[in-house]
Structure 1
Amino acid sequence: MQMRPAELAAIRAGAVDLAFRRWEQPRLRVGTQMRSAVGLIEITSVDRVPVSRLTAAEARRAGAASLAALRQGLDRVHPERPVYRIGLRYAGADPRAALREAVPDAAELDALVAWLDRLDRSSSTGPWTRATLTLIDELPATRAPDLAERMGRDTLSFKQNVRKLKERGLTESLDIGYRLSARGGAVLDHEGLPRSDASRSAPEPGTPLPHLGAPATRALTAHGVVRLEQAATLTAAEVGALHGVGPFALGRLRTALAEAGLSFRDET
């Protein structure tokens, strides 16, 4: 179930707890927890509802500007399909976040190596796990299509493979591309595989930027801003003037600053 960044942020904040979709049949089950950029989103209900019975209160709970706007949005794509009302709630942080930073002990390393070996043996295109980990280590924050081209793979199959590594906490998705986690680095070190010098250097101090979307991330990175502490040296107007930083990214950044006890320079 696709959700926009602004919708995810509103669910996490508790401002949105419903979504409406046109499906031929239900695609989600009650109790399902979906991973997202803001953490886990749990499905609390799935009900088929007639469009004529939708209410203004439900539209507000879904983050729509009005009941008319909700209906117009639902009629835009596949208007012949029935409408389903999906209850949503924020269910906490993605457990993979803690897993990525947990350096495995010897037994865990042996199990991870055995799992990677099984993936390589079952691949119809040959071994890929170590090459993928090494490439992400060498080229963090690089577009998936560019990484796939270097591997001689199509983008879709490359992303599917990286997703398997991410499930075990070996990689982390960024707004642009990926990076190797501490756990993934430990696997490469354990096997004596070459590591990027950049990955071995001490991380830049400070709090990483939240997920803002690729355009905003590119704009801030080009401006030398990769940590919240750096963003706090700028005014809201200076950040908003960067090409690619829209109202959502600016609001998301302001929220992240507040959570870290910071603010834009002109909002102290």
Structure 2
Amino acid sequence: MQMRPAELAAIRAGEVEVAFRRWERPRVRVGTRMRTAVGLIEVTSVDRVAVSSLSAADARRAGAVSLAALRQGLDRLHPDRPVYRIGLRYAGVDPRHALRESVPDAAEIDEIVAWLDRLDRASPAGPWTRATLLLIDELPATRAPDLAQRLGRDTPAFKQNVRKLKERGLTESLDIGYRLSARGAAVLDQEGHRRPVPDRPVPVPGIPLPHLGAAATRALTSHGVASLEQVAELSEAEVQALHGVGPYALRHLRAAMGAAGLTFRDDPGGSPAAGSTTEMS
């Protein structure tokens, strides 16, 4: 279930409680918890409704400017499909954030290593876990197809493998590609793997950049900006001046920063980045 950054921020703030979608059949069920850019969003209800039964109260709960606007939005795409009202609530931060930034002790590393070994033994394509971790360490912020090609894997299978590593907090997704987490680095170091850059610093903790497009992401990362907290240390004018950062990227940066309780340095109405504990996926 796709949701816009502004919609996610409103759900987190308690300003939006429902969403309306036209589906052939329900795509979520009650109790489903979705990992999003603002944390966990839980589905509290799923009901099929008639467009004619929608009210102004439904529009307000969905964050629509009016009942007419809500109905027009539903009629814009797939008007032949039934309408579902999905109850939503913010259910807390994504637990993977704290996990990937925590350095495991010896017992935890032994458990992770045993799990990686099981994945390797179960893979029909042969061992892949350490090679994948080492490649991500060597080439952070690199497109998944390029990484998959270097390992001789097809892109969907490669992405599926990386998701398994991400679930254990060993990697994290960026707008382009991935990076090794502090937890993943600790595992490789404990096993004695020769890492591509021995003096590579531990990944800076923080909220990853949202999806901005390749040009904008490269512009920011080339200036050492890889998290929203680092963006908040800059003025909006400084970010806009970077070649490759256009209106689309700025709009998504503002939405992601707003959802995380951050603002640009020169925003007089915002709160400072320091001390922020809000997490994103």
TM-score (norm 1): 0.84
Query: Which sections of structure 1, spanning at least 5 residues, go unmatched?
Result: none
Deviations 1:15-63 (A, max 9, x none): 2221112223323222221111211111111111111112233223323
Query: Match for residue 63 of structure 1?
Result: 63
Q: 1:132/1:203 Cα in 2 relative to 1: closer, same or farther (>3 Å)?
A: closer
CA–CA distance in structure 1, aligned partners of residues 38 and 91 of structure 2: 10
Displacement of 1:176 in angstroms is: 2.1
Matching residue's letter, 1:100: R
CA–CA distance in structure 2, aligned partners of residues 17 and 218 of structure 1: 36
Equivalence map 1:15-26=2 (5 Å)? 15-26=15-26
Alpha carbons 1:47, 1:84 under 8 Å: kept: yes
Q: 1:199/1:94 Cα in 2 relative to 1: closer, same or farther (>3 Å)?
A: farther
Query: Match for residue 221 of structure 1?
Result: 221
Query: Match for residue 247 of structure 1?
Result: 251
CA–CA distance in structure 1, aligned partners of residues 39 and 147 of structure 2: 26
Query: Match for residue 113 of structure 1?
Result: 113
Higher helix fraction: Structure 1 or Structure 2? 1
Displacement of 1:266 in angstroms is: 6.1
Alpha carbons 2:185, 2:202 under 8 Å: kept: no
Pick which of 221-230 and 154-163 moved more.
221-230
Query: Match for residue 132 of structure 1?
Result: 132
Alpha carbons 2:48, 2:85 under 8 Å: kept: yes
Alpha carbons 2:208, 2:226 under 8 Å: kept: no
Q: 1:63/1:142 Cα in 2 relative to 1: closer, same or farther (>3 Å)?
A: farther
Q: 1:174/1:198 Cα in 2 relative to 1: closer, same or farther (>3 Å)?
A: farther
Alpha carbons 2:26, 2:46 under 8 Å: kept: yes
CA–CA distance in structure 2, aligned partners of residues 132 and 85 of structure 1: 41
Displacement of 1:14 in angstroms is: 2.2
Corresponding residue SS for 1:176: coil
CA–CA distance in structure 2, aligned partners of residues 27 and 254 of structure 1: 28
Displacement of 1:75 in angstroms is: 2.8
CA–CA distance in structure 1, aligned partners of residues 229 and 104 of structure 2: 31
Q: In angstroms, what is the RMSD of aligned CA positions?
A: 2.7
CA–CA distance in structure 2, aligned partners of residues 252 and 79 of structure 1: 31
Alpha carbons 2:207, 2:229 under 8 Å: kept: no
Query: Match for residue 173 of structure 2?
Result: 173
CA–CA distance in structure 2, aligned partners of residues 11 and 219 of structure 1: 31
How many correspondences in the alignment?
263
Q: 1:154/1:85 Cα in 2 relative to 1: closer, same or farther (>3 Å)?
A: same
TM-score (norm 2): 0.81
Displacement of 1:73 in angstroms is: 2.9
CA–CA distance in structure 2, aligned partners of residues 151 and 115 of structure 1: 21
Alpha carbons 1:121, 1:127 under 8 Å: kept: yes
CA–CA distance in structure 1, aligned partners of residues 11 and 180 of structure 2: 28
Q: 1:86/1:202 Cα in 2 relative to 1: closer, same or farther (>3 Å)?
A: closer
Q: 1:191/1:202 Cα in 2 relative to 1: closer, same or farther (>3 Å)?
A: closer
CA–CA distance in structure 2, aligned partners of residues 124 and 59 of structure 1: 51
Corresponding residue SS for 1:47: strand
Displacement of 1:166 in angstroms is: 0.7
Displacement of 1:233 in angstroms is: 5.8
Query: Which sections of structure 2, spanning at least 5 residues, go unmatched?
Result: 270-281
Deviations 1:237-257 (A, max 9, x none): 44346324333423433665x
Alpha carbons 2:35, 2:94 under 8 Å: kept: yes
Alpha carbons 2:209, 2:226 under 8 Å: kept: no
Query: Match for residue 210 of structure 2?
Result: 212
Corresponding residue SS for 2:153: coil
* 2:198 pairs with 1:201: no
CA–CA distance in structure 2, aligned partners of residues 33 and 157 of structure 1: 24
CA–CA distance in structure 1, aligned partners of residues 109 and 249 of structure 2: 41
Pick which of 225-234 and 81-90 moved more.
225-234
Corresponding residue SS for 2:44: strand
Pick which of 224-233 and 39-48 moved more.
224-233
